[in-house]
Amino acid sequence: MSDKKSYREDRLKILLTQEQIEEKITAMGKKISADYAGKELILIGVLRGSTYFLVDLTRKMSIPFAIDFISISTYGEQSDSADVVRITKDLDLSITGKHVLIVEDIVDTGLSLGYLLRNLKTRNPAGLKICTLLNVEARRIVEVPVEYRGFDLPNIFVVGYGLDYKERYRNLQFIAEFDRP
Amino acid sequence: MGIITISREFGSGGETVARFVAEKTRFLLVNKDTINEGLTEYGIEEPSGDPEKTVTGEESEQAVREYLEAMHNYIYDLAIRNNLVILGRGGSILFRDYPPALHVRVIARFTDRVQRVMKLYDLNSETAVKLVKEKDHEKRLYYRRVFDVNWNSVREYELVLNTGTMGLEDAADIIVAAYRIHSEPREVRDGPSGPDIENGILTPSAEEEADKFMHPSEEEFAHMLDFYRIRWDYEPRTFLLEWDSEGNVVEAFSPDFYLPDQDLYIELTTQKPKQAWRKNRKIRRMKELYPEVNVRLIDKKGFESLLKKHRIEEDEGEYR
């Protein structure tokens, strides 16, 4: 498949413009700064989709914080059917007694996030909340409490602003509905 | 949910047997009294004419119908969170489509039953004979009326015990042993975190496991839940949706999965939206009748995006 063919712009329908996204993130950064003022906050980015959002979100924040990243395996990565979800890149920081905010690009089924919550809870943080740019309630299987959400989306497939299709489109400045081949 | 249903002939000692079984298994004993107690909390009273007795008149028909429906829902709800020993009330029919349930019938010869009733209620022979005959008749009517089945048909049961020739506690021991044997394969089936995976001959092979699913998509979904260490049951419960005027079930619905930790039922459909209307209608009806039950339909589009998202395409990287 040539790059040209797989990057066809006509498959993209812009849903959220760069301006809309920035406006929303500014508001979220402000809210989080107010809520966590005076608390020891660790932002945890879930690799890899949330990196763009995490970086821009922190630029809109006015309080001190630490950043760490975590990555977990996803279903289908291994052909072994006996495989189970596990952490592939763990946190470097200890979160015990700290206020933790998980930063996600998108929350849909809640399957992987549910696992992450269960895992992080055992480390006894002082607080454990979720912040996501996009939320697709229609796909939820495991209920996860989302404290901060940017946009609610219907059950569609989107790319851009960190979200990829086969590692492509992450660097788009907007978010678009993607018509999958 | 573990289910043992015990149907008994009047005077067979089935009630005592059920109590023994409940004690030995630590299952919750459900009988007419506990059901009526539970329903009273919801403001539902058993109609003055016991449904086991003949009731006439349209109004009382309606009251009986509503009571039976509430009772059946109540039992199903109890069963979600509890292991139950259900005495009477047509339990074997309510859980007929739930294979792990053990359905037991306790019987005894007529003369043995009369003897027991005489002793138990301090009656003379004539009165006891009359009482036993009356009760047999009532039970037959109840089953006909509520479920349209022949109460005496032994084919409805996995186990039939004659208490005329054995002690009641011995009968209970047999039931408990039979239940263990009968229900074990299901315990094993509960997923990789379930107990007794390597517990000998009762463990089904992977092929047998796969055969249990109606559809490959269900199997794939189950694998995905296993991957995320989410506990699930496959089609554990049947919801009755529609009854005809005689109270026979004409429509029922068994969602594909139940996730106990999420308290959520999931129905998968890979049908196109145009063909999925029947399922949609069933789910709507289920939400009306069982508003306290969480059920979610994952449609073709949702299911495809779920799998595509989580699956490596040939020669290519994964999504996201």
- Helix (H, G, I), strand (E, B), or coil: what is residue A177? strand
Chain A partners within 8 Å of B213 (Cβ): none
Contact A114 B230 (CB under 8 A): yes
Owner of token pair 């359905």: B103
Residue A86: closest CA among chain B residues belongs to which residue? Answer: B228
Q: Is residue A4 part of a domain?
A: no
The pLDDT of residue A95: 96
Cα(A100)–Cα(A93) distance, rounded to whole angstroms? Answer: 11
| Domains delineated in chain B | 3-187 (3.40.50.300), 205-309 (3.40.960)
At B276, which amino acid appears?
A: A
Q: How many domains does chain A have?
A: 1
User: In what helix (H) or strand (E) does residue B4 lie, and over which residues does it extend?
Assistant: strand B3-8
CATH code for the domain in which residue A26 is found: 3.40.50.2020
Percent of chain B topping pLDDT 90: 12
For tokens 């799998």, name the residue. B307
Of A63-67, A77-81, B34-38, the least confident? A77-81
Tell me if residue A80 is catalytic. Answer: no
Q: Is the pLDDT assigned to residue B214 strictly greater than 90?
A: no
Question: Would you say residue A90 lies in a domain?
Answer: yes
Q: Is any Cβ of chain A less than 8 angstroms from the Cβ of B318? A: yes
How confident is the model at residue A89, as a pLDDT? 95
Interface A-B, measured as beta-carbon pairs within 8 A, has a size of 69
Question: In terms of DSSP bridges, do strands A127-135 and A148-152 run parallel, antiparallel, or are they unpaired?
Answer: parallel
The verdict on residue A63 lying in a domain is: yes
Write down the catalytic residue from A108, A152, A164, A179.
A108
* Residue B141: pLDDT over 70: yes
Please give the model's pTM, rounded to 2 decimal places.
0.55
Here the ipTM equals 0.85
Has residue A76 got a pLDDT over 90? no
Arithmetic mean of pLDDT, B42-47: 75
In a domain, A3, yes or no: no
Residue A162 belongs to some domain of the structure: yes
User: By the CB < 8 Å criterion, does B192 face chain A?
Assistant: yes
- Does B39 or A143 have the greater pLDDT score? A143
Contact A157 B317 (CB under 8 A): no
Taking residues B191-220, report their average pLDDT.
52
Percentage above 90 pLDDT, chain A: 75
Mean local confidence (pLDDT), A74-79 = 72
Cα–Cα nearest to A104, from A93, A95, A117, A94 = A117
- Domain containing A173: what range? 9-34+41-178
Enumerate the residues of chain A whose CB falls inside 8 A of the CB of residue B298: 141
Q: What's the average model confidence in pLDDT over B251-275?
A: 85
Residues in chain A with CB shorter than 8 Å from the CB of B229 are 84-85, 115
pLDDT at A130: 98
The SS3 of residue B3 is strand
- How far, in Å, CA of B76 to CA of B248, rounded? 17
